[in-house]
Amino acid sequence: MAGQKEARLFRRRSPQTGHSNGTQNCSVNTSSLTFVMPGNPDFPSDHIDFQTHDDDLTQEEKLAKTLTFIGASAVSLLCYESEDDVASVLRNDDRFRLVRAQDIVSGIWPVVNVAATMQPGGENRAVALLAWSNRLQTLFLGFRGTQSMADVLSNLNVLQAATPNLGSRFHAGFLARASQYTSLIEQLVKEYRLVVCGHSLGGAMATIATYTVLANDGNFRSIGNVWNANEQRRLSAVTFGSPSAMVVEDSGTTAALRKEWALHFHHVINPDDYVPFALNHSSQLAKAFLPSAVGIVLGVFPQLEPFKKPLTLLLEYWQKNRAQFAHFGCIYLLENNNPGINCRQITMERHIPSTPELSNVGRFHLMEHYDDCVRRTLRQRHRFHEIDPKTSISVDQFRWRCLPLPDAVHECNGAIHDNKVIISITVKSRLVQFFLKRVTFKAKGSEVQVSNIHFALKPDNHDQIIVKLQYDIDPNEEPAVALALVYSIQRELRIHDVFGGSTMLSVSEIRSTSLRYASLPTTFESLRLAMIIAFADQIAKVQTLKLNDTESDEANRENAGILTERAASIANLVDSTVSAAVPHLVVSQLQHALGLLKELWPKYSWHEEKTSPLKTRDMTVSGEEAVPGSYPVEHLKDRIPPDCPEELRSLLSEMMETLQKNGLRASCLSIRNWERQGQLKLANVIPDLTSFAEALRKFSRNLYDRPVDPKERIEHAIKQASEVLTAIRFCHLVILTQLDAPHDWYYEAKEDPVRFGVLAAGGGPLLAAGSASRYLAAAVPAMEGAAGLGLVALTSVLGFAASAVAFFLGAGVYYNLLPRKQLLHLNFESKLQMSLEVLGIQCSPLNSIGEAPLADHLKDDMQNAESPQTLKDWRQKLRKGIKKHPAVKSNWLVEPTVYWSKWLFDVARVGQLRDLMASQIRVGVEGPTEAGKSQLLTTLTGAPEEVFRPGSGANCRTMEIQLYNPLELSAVFMDCPGADDKDERIREMASLFREMFGIIIFVVPSDIKSRSKATDEALQEIANLLRDHKDLRPVRILLSKADQLSFNRKKDEVFPNALLQSKKTVIEELKRLGELGDDFVIHSRRACGDTFLLATETLEDIVQPYSTYAQMSLDGRAALSDCPAGEERMIEGLCQFQSLYRMAEEGKMWDVESLRQWLRTLSPNSVPNSRGRVYHTK
């Protein structure tokens, strides 16, 4: 019988039901509760379920339904509490005495939606609550109503948006918020009875999220309400004071809402609460002011007078075609009936109450009022049956089942990248992204939090989540301290969940990224450096051929025009990408790409020229274009900015003129034009397109035949190198136009933006007077009655006026700002990541070359990359994958274009380029002539004597790089002259080549007191590099020929003092030349144990006295450690030899073994293995 009393909560509303003027605080003001026939236009009945389903319930099920409503009300009220205090409030607050006593709400926890908090403004987003009921064995997921500005903005986004699979429309702001939780609901409903609940905005979110989950479920017919005892899966939505969230669709269309799902939705409404009626009521008020709206708009914006007629038509269109918002499901009214509050389901349309006054919002909309009324419906307290622990899930068991850590952790490993540690954790639970609260580790007895956390679905298994943690290490930390932090992360990493638990993780390994990968520049920079590497390879080859006496001059000359294997591979990838470029993008993105090019190339290589704008913007019209009344036709070459280098300008001008002659126009540069024209390639339009490979071949032949005369030789060298660099810039520019194309080249919108512009205009009144009306009323409490309605009407008209103006000034702008379109505005890295996820490509977060997995995935189709069928096939793969991507559920307009398919292959080629670059680390040695570079390199690498030949004077002034690339070593060693040249152009080219080095070694004489002009130039170049040092490449400055400093075998202190004085003199000179302060430091990669970190180094660390002779054989061909025992040494005096040995052992100077050890720690196997420093020798 107790169950019958409790079930009174859900009695049907009888037509004869009356209302008393009770005086209780929770009673309804009956003076405003009147009924209209046949219904209320502000409260459409199209989607209301008037059928009562209680007659089919058992007494136990009716009781469960009653308690479910009370539990949902309590959780919805708790959503307004601080997430840190909510558990305490549940335990101690008298308002929750009933739910505590009856175990209706047994435990409650915040849900951390990391995906939402990572978005702009995400920190203001409401935190959902998860609650477990021991008595009902039911899970509650609750959403809060409006409290923050982000909530207000969601309320104001009153466009009508749809999901891709349904076609049914919803309130766009509510849909965007609800979509963030559909994945969570889908996972929870698989395991538990789930009630999704909320108040106001939270109620609308609960409605949409539940409906979307039902729609996505392929077996929805097996889902019942949570109180249905015979159903295995159960899902219900219970809301309080919710605004209408669904859109009335034409019956019979595929977009119409599924009425058979309505029984899952239960909306509790106070008849005196204005919010459930607000959206449609404010729209009706706005329509009443439509006749005067045009006058208001033109009064504010008189410049729109010519558009009076279309504006009037627009208003009429909005009035006739705007669909209404509606509630979906069962409606329950709170009433004051003796002996107290009742909650009755509406079973007839005529029972829908009239729209209450706006002034009632402050009293009747609050969740406290709803909760008090709902609790009062449970008038009869009785003893509930005891909960059987054998058949019930307790709070602790529920927490474990939700997130079974550490059992759910599949693998956990990490890597060090310069100044950051990245940990990758694979978790066999998609719920981890909602239940992980924070990650910490202990260091020096204190808890340190890892704040950079990202989640991604594992591409090959969407039931698993990859959690990526990143901890940034302060570059100013001492290496030992930084390494201790790394070890602490490996030993002490701990996950804290929202349930109050924490789990220690076992990190299997933290590996170090190879320096050859870590030293790779960004993707866009890599394009330039890859071509410079090919250029340097070719220079070194020709230089070797010129010194080759074994072949005939003619054979060597012919061989010079053949590219090295590496140069040919790079040139082929570059030229393939350039020839396949889209001409429309080359033109439309030219200025953007030139801006990038200017940022990516060293400033000294971009000589700006002052050019009059009038000279570069010729808009004259002649010939066929000179049609009276026509607009002038833009010449494509006018798009080239004034500061473009002259040689590059010439190439670009020629290309633009050819494109224009072939019919390309500035007004026809969209992707649709490109598709209509048969997906043109740049090589189709310009057959003699600039080729990087041909530029290298031409340079190589010219280099081999370069004149002997020094002056003429230098001029030839500068001119020929400039031609290659221009070709490199050209290719770089064209590729950038393709990689960084506008978003609409990757995605196609299914809807017409103008249509959404109309909807944006139609939503104007609601923007100001819809859900926001209650905030206006709250802000101006004195405005009641007619004044309040007047305010709503006024804001409606002003809102519509603003929207109408926005439509005429750019209707599509608002369309592009919708949350669903945020996906389209991605940078290159984000587009790449999105592509990998869409295609299901497994990509480890520890991977150093982001494009490499894509290149590997596409390798079988690379030969046919430009085939229309290949592009069509990959577009279909993108289309198929993007539908399943979680980020697209609320961005349903995304439709891949064929250009996206083409872009994949462009990026894959870039990945192959970067992989070629990373195959070996490049060690560059620079310095003035006769500083000892050749001997250093020969001894260091064990290279044949003829590889590094010493030079002098003009013979070394033409950038003729010497290179040693032994197969058994992981490094390429390069002697790059030119840093000390008196000609600025040669120094600039030397600086350009320096950028391809992963490790930089400068060699200057120890004794600089009697230094030459070349040494002065070299020191100035070094000082400039140190001052402008912004990358992380390791640098050493070796003061060569330290063995020639003062030595006295009778006075041991003479030589050490000479070393110190030499080092001090050079450091002081570098400070003076570079204007470096006493506290000057640089950040660079530094070996630390079996890894390397970003370290801070001073000039004391970087500058080292050095002697090649200290450990060199007498014949000058090898290091002593590479020679058989007993080899004669270069240093004749034993006392001096042993002194040099001791100084090197103590770190007071460097020899070849010191240099080898430093290089080994940076890049293993970069130098020959040896038996170490030799002490006993002849």
| Whether pLDDT at 728 is above 70 | yes
Q: Do domains 45-377 and 920-1162 have the same CATH topology?
A: yes
Q: Could you give the CA distance from residue 841 to residue 833 in angstroms, rounded to a whole number?
A: 10
The three-state secondary structure class of 1005 is strand
pLDDT at 977: 80
**For residues 701 and 563, is the Cβ–Cβ distance under 8 A?**
no
Kindly state the average pLDDT of the residues 926-930.
Answer: 86
Of the pLDDT bands very low, low, confident and very high (cuts 50, 70, 90), residue 805 is: very low
Closest Cα partner for 605 from 215, 1174, 988? 988
pLDDT at 770: 33
**Percent of the chain whose pLDDT exceeds 70:** 76
**Can you count the helices (H) and strands (E) in the chain?**
43, 30
Paired strand residues for 331:
267
Question: What is the CATH code for 920-1162?
Answer: 3.40.50.300
H or E, element range at 238 = strand 233-240
Q: Could you give the CA distance from residue 776 to residue 768 in angstroms, rounded to a whole number?
A: 9
**For residues 1126 and 1170, is the Cβ–Cβ distance under 8 A?**
no
Q: Could you give the CA distance from residue 203 to residue 183 in angstroms, rounded to a whole number?
A: 18
The tokens of 587 are what? 């033109």
Q: Name the more confident of 547 and 799.
A: 547
| Whether pLDDT at 1087 is above 70 | no
pLDDT at 1090: 57
Task: Name the average pLDDT for the chain.
Answer: 79
**For residues 479 and 1095, is the Cβ–Cβ distance under 8 A?**
yes
| Whether pLDDT at 683 is above 50 | yes
Residues 580-591: tens digit of each pLDDT: 999 999 999 999
The tokens of 1105 are what? 């006295």
For the ranges 69-78, 216-225, 756-765, 922-931, the one whose mean pLDDT is highest = 69-78
| Whether pLDDT at 861 is above 60 | yes
| Whether pLDDT at 758 is above 60 | no
Q: Could you give the CA distance from residue 957 to residue 955 in angstroms, rounded to a whole number?
A: 6
pLDDT at 17: 38
**Which residue in this structure is represented by tokens 């709250």?**
778
Least confident of 742-746, 852-856, 1031-1035, 1134-1138: 1031-1035
Q: Name the more confident of 888 and 662.
A: 662
| Whether pLDDT at 883 is above 90 | no
Question: Where are the alpha helices (H) located in 403-478, listed in sequence order?
Answer: 432-435
Kindly state the average pLDDT of the residues 566-583.
Answer: 96
Kindly state the average pLDDT of the residues 1140-1165.
Answer: 93
The three-state secondary structure class of 1113 is strand
Closest Cα partner for 1002 from 989, 988, 991? 991
Closest Cα partner for 976 from 958, 967, 984, 897? 958
Q: What are phi and psi of 253, to 5 degrees?
A: -85, 160
H or E, element range at 396 = helix 395-402
Question: Where are the alpha helices (H) located in 171-307, listed in sequence order?
Answer: 172-178, 182-188, 201-216, 275-288, 290-300
Of the pLDDT bands very low, low, confident and very high (cuts 50, 70, 90), residue 636 is: confident
Paired strand residues for 268:
240, 332
pLDDT at 482: 75
Paired strand residues for 553:
none
pLDDT at 766: 32
Helix 523-546 crosses helix 984-994 at what angle (to 10 degrees)? 110
Residues 976-1017: tens digit of each pLDDT: 887 667 777 777 888 888 888 989 999 999 886 667 788 888
Q: Could you give the CA distance from residue 1082 to residue 1028 in angstroms, rounded to a whole number?
A: 10
Kindly state the average pLDDT of the residues 92-101.
Answer: 91
pLDDT at 738: 96
**For residues 714 and 956, is the Cβ–Cβ distance under 8 A?**
no
Length of the chain: 1178
**Percent of the chain whose pLDDT exceeds 90:** 35
Of the pLDDT bands very low, low, confident and very high (cuts 50, 70, 90), residue 821 is: very low
Least confident of 73-77, 137-141, 473-477, 742-746: 473-477
Paired strand residues for 479:
none
- Number of C-beta neighbours around residue 622 at 10 A: 7
pLDDT at 893: 59
Q: Is the peptide bond before 1005 cis (omega within 30 degrees of 0)?
A: no
Closest Cα partner for 268 from 84, 26, 483? 26
Provide the Cα torsion 630, 635, 636, 638; round to 10°. Answer: -120
pLDDT at 948: 87
pTM score, two decimals? 0.67
pLDDT at 378: 64
* Angstrom distances, CA of residue 1086 to CA of 416, 1082, 1094: 12, 11, 6
Of the pLDDT bands very low, low, confident and very high (cuts 50, 70, 90), residue 388 is: low
Domain residue extents for the chain = 45-377, 403-512, 524-604+635-740, 742-756+825-914, 920-1162
pLDDT at 794: 39
Please name the amino acid found at residue 582: V
| Whether pLDDT at 407 is above 50 | yes
**Which residue in this structure is represented by tokens 């998609």?**
430
* Angstrom distances, CA of residue 158 to CA of 290, 423, 1061: 19, 42, 76
In the sheet that 1103-1105 helps form, which strands lie side by side, from edge to edge?
Answer: 962-964, 971-975, 921-926, 999-1005, 1035-1040, 1103-1105
3-state DSSP helix/strand/coil % of the chain, to nearest 5: 50, 15, 35
Q: Name the more confident of 129 and 1029.
A: 129
Please name the amino acid found at residue 475: P
pLDDT at 608: 46
| Whether pLDDT at 141 is above 90 | yes
The tokens of 676 are what? 């209509």
**For residues 74 and 99, is the Cβ–Cβ distance under 8 A?**
yes
Q: Could you give the CA distance from residue 587 to residue 665 in angstroms, rounded to a whole number?
A: 9
User: In the 3-class helix/strand/coil scheme, how is 434-448 assigned residue by residue?
Assistant: HHEEEEEEEECCEEE
Residues 156-210: tens digit of each pLDDT: 666 777 776 777 888 888 898 888 898 899 989 988 999 999 999 999 999 999 9
pLDDT at 248: 82
CATH 2.60.120 is the classification of domain 403-512: no
Q: Could you give the CA distance from residue 122 to residue 119 in angstroms, rounded to a whole number?
A: 5
Question: How many whole angstroms from its chain centre is CA 1042?
Answer: 51
Q: Name the more confident of 778 and 82.
A: 82
In this structure, which topology does domain 45-377 adopt according to CATH? Rossmann fold (3.40.50)
pLDDT at 371: 92
Q: What are phi and psi of 333, to 5 degrees?
A: -100, 135
Q: Name the more confident of 837 and 2.
A: 837
pLDDT at 919: 83
| Whether pLDDT at 1108 is above 90 | yes
pLDDT at 652: 92
pLDDT at 887: 60
Of the pLDDT bands very low, low, confident and very high (cuts 50, 70, 90), residue 604 is: low
